[in-house]
Amino acid sequence: MARTPDGARRRRRLRWALSAFTVVILLVIAVVVLWKPDVPGPIPPNPTGEHEGTQVSESVSLTVPETVRTTSASFPVSAGETYLLRFSVETVKPAGSPGSAMYFGVSLACVGPDGEDSRSIGGTQNLLQDEPVTLHNQFLYEVSGDGERTCRLVVSSPNENAAAKGTTVDVKIDWSAAPVGDEAFVLDSAARLPRVVGAGERVPAFLEEVPLEDLGTGQIQVLSTVHVTTCTIVNGSREGGEPMCLESETDARGSEYDVELRADVLGPDGRTCASLSMLNDSQHVDRRTHHQMLSIDKSGELPDITCGDTVRIVLAVDNAGPAPLVVHGAGSSFVAVPVAP
233 vs 199: CA distance, rounded Å: 15
Whole-number pLDDT of residue 127: 97
Q: Which of 311, 104, 86, 335 is nearest to 217 (CA)?
A: 311
In angstroms and rounded to an integer, the radius of gyration of the C-alpha atoms of the chain is: 20
Enumerate domains of the chain plus CATH numbers: 5-180 (2.60.120), 187-338 (2.60.120)
Residues 6 or more apart in contact with residue 90 via CB below 8 angstroms: 132, 133, 134, 135, 171, 172
Q: How far apart are CA 341 and CA 336, in angstroms?
A: 15
pLDDT at position 32, please?
Answer: 36
Is the pLDDT reported for residue 292 higher than 70?
A: yes
Q: Count CB-CB contacts under 10 A for residue 118.
A: 15
Q: How far apart, in whole angstroms, are the C-alpha atoms of residue 248 and residue 115?
A: 43
Give CA 151 to chain center in angstroms: 16
- What is the number of residues in the chain? 341
| Structure confidence by residue, pLDDT tens digits, 98-147 | 999 999 999 999 999 999 999 999 999 999 999 999 999 999 999 999 99
In angstroms, the CA 243 to CA 247 distance is 10
pLDDT, tens only, 206-243: 999 998 888 776 788 999 999 999 999 998 888 988 89
What is the rounded CA–CA span in Å between residue 172 and residue 39?
22
* pLDDT tens digits, 50-99: 346 899 999 999 999 999 999 999 999 999 999 999 999 999 999 999 99
